[in-house]
């Protein structure tokens, strides 16, 4: 994990580029009433939320509890409301068109294949008119960026898609990753930590390169101005 002073959450290099985009975008919702983090796990995204209320939905109650506990007493963060629920039935817990910004990150591809696109449709129904949806997804045959865009385009006035993570950035990350594919700093000497931090910054620069983005299989999708 890296503690990058420019990001509010410690994260590994492969997710640092995502957090750079996400953190920047979430600043724009400062002061909005309600943000919902769908499949929030341990609420890692919470420090990026600037809405007055943060609703954390996850099917795993224990993770949710850990997450809420982790940030207890942080009065610089939004009021956190945990909801233990299945993403596929989230409309039982949240009213349609009631949320200013709905977020779901690193999750859709974990759902059974046939549930992935219906889940995107369902999340869309939660966004209030004028509100936004931010999705981070990993492309699979059952969840393509094109299919997701086809769902979102008629519902939102603005749609922005940024692809990232391709063979080049993966190869680059493997230079600093351990055998398990993760980059950790725990047992490193100061000089190795410095090298890994510099290499991680290099990885984010690489991800920013638009040319490489064309072939990325991860996508950061931001849909604004719900009709
Ligand atoms: C890889 S984690 C992503 C967590 C977080 N969004 C992030 O970006 O770090 C996936 C989360 O999805 C949750 N999850 C999986 N299937 C779910 C479902 N059907 N309904 C709600 N949550 C689900 C898991 O419990 C887990 O916490």
Helices within 87-224 (DSSP H only):
116-126, 145-152, 167-174, 190-208, 210-213
The predicted pLDDT at position 85 comes to 98
Taking the mean position of all CA atoms in its chain, how far away is CA 144?
A: 17
Every domain of the chain and the residues it spans: 31-159
Q: How confident is the model at residue 7 (pLDDT cuts 50, 70, 90)?
A: low
Give the integer Cα–Cα distance in Å for 12 and 67. Answer: 18
Query: Closest ligand 1 atom, CA of 119?
Result: 19
The predicted pLDDT at position 213 comes to 63
Give the count of beta carbons closer than 10 Å to the beta carbon of residue 221: 20
Distances (CA, A) of 141 to 50, 77, 112, 168, 203: 34, 37, 12, 21, 26
The predicted pLDDT at position 90 comes to 98
Give the integer Cα–Cα distance in Å for 46 and 161. Answer: 22
60 CB near ligand 1 (under 6 Å): yes
If you measure from the C-alpha of residue 12 to the centroid of ligand 1, how many angstroms do you get, rounded to a whole number?
18
Averaged over 22-28, what is the pLDDT?
A: 96
From 40, 55, 59, give the residue whose CB has the most ligand 1 atoms within 8 Å, as the site to mutate: 59
Averaged over 27-52, what is the pLDDT?
A: 97
Query: Closest ligand 1 atom, CA of 63?
Result: 27
If you measure from the C-alpha of residue 125 to the centroid of ligand 1, how many angstroms do you get, rounded to a whole number?
19
Highest mean pLDDT among 4-8, 70-74, 153-157, 215-219: 153-157
Please write the tens of the pLDDT for every residue from 179-211.
666 666 667 788 887 877 787 777 777 777 766
41 CB near ligand 1 (under 6 Å): yes
Query: Closest ligand 1 atom, CA of 136?
Result: 8
- What is the bridge-based pairing of β-strands 53-58 and 34-38? parallel
Domain boundaries 31-159, corresponding CATH code: 3.40.50.150
Between helix 167-174 and helix 190-208 the angle, nearest 10°, is 180
If you measure from the C-alpha of residue 109 to the centroid of ligand 1, how many angstroms do you get, rounded to a whole number?
10
> What does 160-182 look like in DSSP terms, one character per residue?
EEEEE--HHHHHHHHTT--TTS-
């Amino acid at each position: 994990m890296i503690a990058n002073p420019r990001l509010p959450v410690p994260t590994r290099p492969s997710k640092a580029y995502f957090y750079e985009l996400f953190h920047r975008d979430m600043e724009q919702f400062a002061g909005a009433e309600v943000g919902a983090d769908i499949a929030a796990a341990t609420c890692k995204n919470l420090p990026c939320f600037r809405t007055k209320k943060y609703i954390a939905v996850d099917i795993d109650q224990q993770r949710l509890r850990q997450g809420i506990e982790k940030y207890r007493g942080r009065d610089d963060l939004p009021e956190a409301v945990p909801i233990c629920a299945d993403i596929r039935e989230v409309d039982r817990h949240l009213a349609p068109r009631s949320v200013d910004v709905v977020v779901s990150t690193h999750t859709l591809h974990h759902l059974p294949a046939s549930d992935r696109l219906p889940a995107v449709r369902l999340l869309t129904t939660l966004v209030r008119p004028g509100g936004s949806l931010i999705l981070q997804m990993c492309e699979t045959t059952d969840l393509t960026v094109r299919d997701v865009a086809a769902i979102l385009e008629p519902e939102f006035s603005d749609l922005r898609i940024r692809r990232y993570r391709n063979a080049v950035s993966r190869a680059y990350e493997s230079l600093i990753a351990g055998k398990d594919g993760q980059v950790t700093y725990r047992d490193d000497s100061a000089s190795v930590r410095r090298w890994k931090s510099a290499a991680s910054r290099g990885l984010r620069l690489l991800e920013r390169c638009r040319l490489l983005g064309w072939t990325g299989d991860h996508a950061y999708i931001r849909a604004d101005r719900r009709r």
